[in-house]
A and B are shown apart, each in its own frame.
Chain A
Amino acid sequence: MTDRLAPAAQQSVLRLGNRAFPPGQPIVMGIVNRTPDSFFRPAVTWDEAAAMDRVHQVIADGADIVDVGGIPAAPGAEVDVAEEIRRTASFIGAIRSAYPNVVISADTWRHETGRAACEAGADLLNDSWGGYDPLLAEVAAELGAGLVCSHAGRQSPRTRPFRVAYGDVMADVLEHVQSLAARALAAGVQGDRIVIDAAHDFGKNTWHSLEVTRRLAEMTATGFPVLVSLSNKDFVGETLNLPPEQRLPGTLAATAICAWHGARIFRVHQVAESRQVVEMVSAIRGDRPPARAVRGLA
């Protein structure tokens, strides 16, 4: 493990929608699931009005990005393209109408859904499944959207890891996300709209997710903005032996470590708590000043 900070100079401005985020400014992405069966607080935002209330709340709590997903990561009832689009696209349009400047992310691996989402107003295609559908990058390029290039251990979408093993999991992550980023660039995605993500728990057991957390500085050293999606995941639950509703402290601990290593986007359920953690770490790193310092200075 390295205890050295990745120099911020290696990072550059990230553009999402009409927003520009300088290095050192932590970005919080609030999760809004349009599903009846996600693992954390299932179905709370299945109802569209409840989902819009959730959007209002995450933005009020300090989210820069709203991440809308129509399919849970875990295996379960089939959700075809038409159903995924039905769950997400018009809802994204409603968010765009309510918040002209908020960054909207669509959590999908499918290019058809990605196209519908972008046409409805999404700015970022958040593919947690490691570039499974290569046409997704083409859609991002065509519609000027950003793209998350993640590592899912080359697993198919909605599959669980089964006896996965890596000679060096971080080396595999780095090789894969950088090859996806190169593919995205070649497809025409704008370089300042490409994000990389180790995808904790995707194609990884708990030991692997702990390892990529410990070594996250190797990802930030690539210069690509790094997204981390840690929120209440099983690697936190297995590490602390706790059910999903009791994983917030563990999530925040992992969040702090990733922030220290220079991650820039934090995909979370608990926006307000996460915002406090990433801003605290940002000030410890020296990327941001305190909000208000007077003690000892008067």
Chain B
Amino acid sequence: MLTAAALCPAPPLLARELTGADPVVPELRQACLDAATDLLHSDPDVIAVVGAGEQTRAFGARGRLDLAAYAPALALGRLDGNWPAEHDGGAPDGGGALLPLPLGLGCRLLDQAGYAGRLALHTVSDQASAADCAALGARIAGPAARVALLVMADGSARRGLKAPGYLDERSLPFDASVAEAIRAGDMAALLALDAGLAGDLMATGRPAWQVLAGALDGPRPASMIRYSDDPFGVAYLVATLWPQHEAMPT
């Protein structure tokens, strides 16, 4: 039974260390933390984290986020004395296998929100069909236990001339349709997203959104959008959704 779902983007810069001395996007990090905190407040027995990956598979909960892959200097261990005061600590749970970025960032968000309970980590293949994604979502939400879902998913990376993928004007209506589906709780609209178009637009979150839709199958959920912007040409959407049988906090 799903208690709540949170939607966050998964850019590397969500990790505070990676942007250097300047926090750059503190409001984005705060919105993600708030959304993760919503999941804790939904009193789950387990939190599932889902992000797009090369294949659909589960990961062990003791995995490790390798930020040094993005910033090799972090591995030198020399930055500590010269780090800004708001630096928020290292990667979660060293020692385990490497986690894909969306799962590692999701685990870190939950850790920062103060969650120390059970985790279930899944990647969903970027080749997976909408039906397969929805089926995975239904399986995740299906158990008798109270399950909260953290979906790490990004919109188009082609939202401007300086965007990572350069400008594709189709990105604007595409991302707007995703945001509207989340706002309205219209899961059918998420399942109807065109995977080919999403690929063209570098919208890597497509399969994860469709897992979300499968997990929230049924009456339209309530939602709260906490952040929706594209400061670097990539659409970041942060939101929390509550199934109708769960009370949305006031």
A286, B18: Cβ atoms closer than 8 Å:
no
> Given known contacts A22-B81, A286-B76, A289-B73, is B234 in contact with A297 (CB within 8 Å)?
no
B81, A24: Cβ atoms closer than 8 Å:
yes
Contacts of A282 in B (CB 8 A): 82
A294, B82: Cβ atoms closer than 8 Å:
no
Contacts of A287 in B (CB 8 A): 78-79, 82
> Given known contacts A286-B76, A287-B82, is B18 in contact with A298 (CB within 8 Å)?
no
| B13 interface residue (CB < 8 Å to A) | yes
> Given known contacts A298-B164, A298-B233, A298-B234, is B20 in contact with A293 (CB within 8 Å)?
yes
| A288 interface residue (CB < 8 Å to B) | yes
Per-residue A-contact encoding for B5-22, CB less than 8 Å = 1, 0 else: 000000111000111111
B11, A286: Cβ atoms closer than 8 Å:
no
5 interchain pairs (CB within 8 A)?
Answer: A22-B82, A290-B20, A294-B24, A297-B13, A298-B232
Contacts of A296 in B (CB 8 A): 12, 164
Main secondary structure of the interface of A (DSSP, over half): loop
| B83 interface residue (CB < 8 Å to A) | yes
Contacts of B24 in A (CB 8 A): 292, 294
Contacts of A292 in B (CB 8 A): 19-22, 24
CA distance A292 to B231 in the complex (A): 14
A289, B81: Cβ atoms closer than 8 Å:
no
Q: Which B residues are within 8 Å of any A CB, using their own CB? A: 11-13, 17-22, 24, 70-71, 73, 76, 78-79, 81-84, 157, 164, 231-234
B236 (CB) vs chain A CBs: closest residue = A298
Partner of A294, one of B19, B71, B76, B79: B19
Q: Which A residues are within 8 Å of any B CB, using their own CB? A: 8, 22-25, 282-283, 285-294, 296-298
Please give the distance in Å from A251's CB to the nearest CB on chain B. 25
A297, B11: Cβ atoms closer than 8 Å:
yes
Contacts of B13 in A (CB 8 A): 293-294, 297-298
- What 5 A-B pairs come out closest when comparing CB atoms? A298-B232, A290-B20, A286-B73, A22-B81, A292-B22
CA distance A292 to B82 in the complex (A): 14
A293, B233: Cβ atoms closer than 8 Å:
no
Seed contacts A24-B82, A289-B82, A298-B11; 20 additional CB < 8 Å A-B pairs: A22-B82, A24-B79, A24-B81, A286-B76, A286-B79, A287-B79, A287-B82, A288-B21, A289-B83, A291-B20, A292-B22, A293-B13, A293-B18, A293-B19, A294-B19, A297-B11, A298-B13, A298-B164, A298-B233, A298-B234
A283 (CB) vs chain B CBs: closest residue = B73
> Given known contacts A23-B81, A24-B82, A289-B83, is B76 in contact with A297 (CB within 8 Å)?
no
Please give the distance in Å from A100's CB to the nearest CB on chain B. 23
A25, B81: Cβ atoms closer than 8 Å:
yes
Contacts of B79 in A (CB 8 A): 24, 286-289
Among A22, A290, A291: residue with most chain B CB under 10 A: A290
> Given known contacts A289-B83, A298-B13, A298-B232, is B78 in contact with A24 (CB within 8 Å)?
yes
CA distance A8 to B12 in the complex (A): 28
Contacts of A294 in B (CB 8 A): 13, 19, 24, 232
B20, A289: Cβ atoms closer than 8 Å:
yes
CA distance A287 to B78 in the complex (A): 5
CA distance A23 to B80 in the complex (A): 10
Partner of A298, one of B76, B78, B157: B157
A297, B70: Cβ atoms closer than 8 Å:
yes
B22 (CB) vs chain A CBs: closest residue = A292
Contacts of B12 in A (CB 8 A): 296-297
CA distance A22 to B83 in the complex (A): 11
CA distance A286 to B81 in the complex (A): 11
CA distance A112 to B168 in the complex (A): 73
Contacts of A286 in B (CB 8 A): 73, 76, 78-79
Among B24, B70, B79, B82: residue with most chain A CB under 10 A: B82
CA distance A22 to B81 in the complex (A): 6
Please give the distance in Å from A62's CB to the nearest CB on chain B. 14
CA distance A127 to B46 in the complex (A): 66
